Amino acid sequence: MSRIIGHARQVEYFNKVLQKDKLAHAYFFYGAEGVGKFTLAKILAQTLCCPQKPKSLGDACRECHDCRAIESNLHPRVAVLDLEHTLVSKKDERSDIPIDDIRELRRRFSIAAPSAQWRIAIINQADKMSTEAANAFLKLLEEPGENALFILIAENREAVLPTILSRSQPVGFYPVADLELRDGLKKEGLAADALDKIIFCAYGRPGRARKFMEDSGQLAQEEKLIKEIDLVFRQRDLSHLFMLTEETGQDAELTARIAELAFQALRSSLKKFAFERKEKETRILTEKIKKTDRIFSLLETTNVNSRLALDALLLETIK
């Protein structure tokens, strides 16, 4: 299991909750992809299930049967559900989390657990639950039973049923400072130049940094994208912009990543203008960010034409 990098406030919160034995029955972890939500959820599960009874996050032994089973998503009392992990449905036929998996989850939670042992469900990509599945899960939230914990995870709060959110304790996750990320990755034995590239491309997301460590090809692709966006942003080159969106507009994941990079470029400029106290530029850029944020949200939460949305977002970025 990966260690927690950053998120000191979230760790401190859960440590206090654990020490006071005041754990809520449901939490909603929200924040950018790769920022550390799923990692912390599994570490919390290990903390609750490890027979050594650790009192703080990250203090589980990580060597016992329970810890290793949770790490491998094989623990009988810790269910993990997302588009990759299923309970009963066939993975290759799923475009969402179907009601069949939630029914199986309800069945498992209806069986009494051994005394004082936890039953935990980690619903990664909670925004991918079908409408039927979300409504079925809501019933489970309303009657959780003893020693039951639900951790829902998604990038956007708006994409999850408000009734589910109202029954969950929200915990926000935000990008980790580059210095914290560097300190967390130093033990991996990376060369200095490789570490610099990974931190530059990760944008404060430990999960993304680890993916780049494992896949140099993905890191190279990310570097190329960042250079393309920087070129569009600095030179305001419309021909290059439309060439970029034409090449990537059919790839939904790549389109979302380009939109995200453009949004991040605007935010970086805003920080610079604010630091330099350029009030006019700051005001103009703030309005741009509001507009691009709306377009970015449409890309993430609706079936809007991704090519047209990306065109609109990048045009807003460079005008």
Q: Which residues does 306 contact at the CB level (< 8 Å), separation at least 6?
A: 249, 250, 252, 255, 256, 299
Per-residue tokens: 108: 């498992």
Predicted local distance difference test score (pLDDT) of residue 245: 73
Per-residue tokens: 56: 């703080």
Answer whether 102's CB lies under 8 Å from 129's CB.
yes
Q: How far is the CA of 219 from the CAs of 18, 178, 210, 224, 237, in angstroms?
A: 38, 17, 10, 9, 25
Taking the model in full, what pTM does it have? 0.81
Say how far apart CA 105 and CA 98 lie, in whole Å. Answer: 11
Rounded to 5, what percent of the chain is helix, strand, coil?
A: 60, 10, 30
SS3 136: helix
Q: What is the DSSP letter of 58?
A: T
Answer whether 263's CB lies under 8 Å from 289's CB.
yes
Round to the nearest angstrom and report the end-to-end CA distance of the chain. Answer: 45
Cα–Cα nearest to 152, from 162, 190, 114: 162
**Residue-wise DSSP of 42-56:** HHHHHHHH-TT--SS
Predicted local distance difference test score (pLDDT) of residue 237: 66
Say how far apart CA 58 and CA 40 lie, in whole Å. Answer: 9
Answer whether 310's CB lies under 8 Å from 259's CB.
yes
- pLDDT tens for each residue of the chain, 319 residues long: 567 899 999 999 999 999 999 999 999 999 988 999 999 999 999 999 999 989 899 899 989 999 999 999 999 999 999 998 999 888 776 789 999 999 999 998 888 777 778 999 999 999 999 999 999 999 999 888 788 999 999 988 888 999 999 999 999 999 898 899 999 888 888 888 889 989 988 888 999 899 999 998 989 988 888 787 777 776 676 677 677 777 666 666 677 777 777 777 777 777 777 777 778 877 877 877 777 777 777 776 666 777 777 777 777 766 6
Look up residue 227 and give its amino acid: K
Predicted local distance difference test score (pLDDT) of residue 248: 67
Q: How far is the CA of 71 from the CAs of 38, 61, 68, 82, 110, in angstroms?
A: 11, 12, 5, 15, 24
Angle between helices 238-248 and 216-235 (to 10 degrees): 150
Cα 220 to chain centroid distance, Å, stands at: 22
